[in-house]
Amino acid sequence: MKRDLKVGGKFSLFSGSILGEFTEITKPHKIVEKWKFRDWNECDYSTVTVEFISVKENHTKLKLTHNNIPASNKYNEAKQRIFKPLYVFINQNILKETFYFYYVEKKKIYNKSIILLFCVKKLLGGGIK
Cβ atoms of 46 and 96 closer than 8 Å: no
Q: What is the pLDDT of residues 62-107, one digit of tens each?
A: 788 888 877 766 655 556 555 666 666 656 655 444 333 333 333 3
Structural domains in the chain, sorted by start: 2-123 (3.30.530.20)
Cβ atoms of 32 and 49 closer than 8 Å: yes
pTM attached to this predicted model: 0.59
Instruction: Give residue 59's pLDDT band: very low, low, confident or very high (50, 70, 90).
Output: confident
Residues 6+ positions from 127 with CB-CB distance below 8 Å: 28, 60, 98, 121
Cβ atoms of 47 and 67 closer than 8 Å: yes
Residues 6+ positions from 80 with CB-CB distance below 8 Å: none
Cβ atoms of 23 and 34 closer than 8 Å: yes
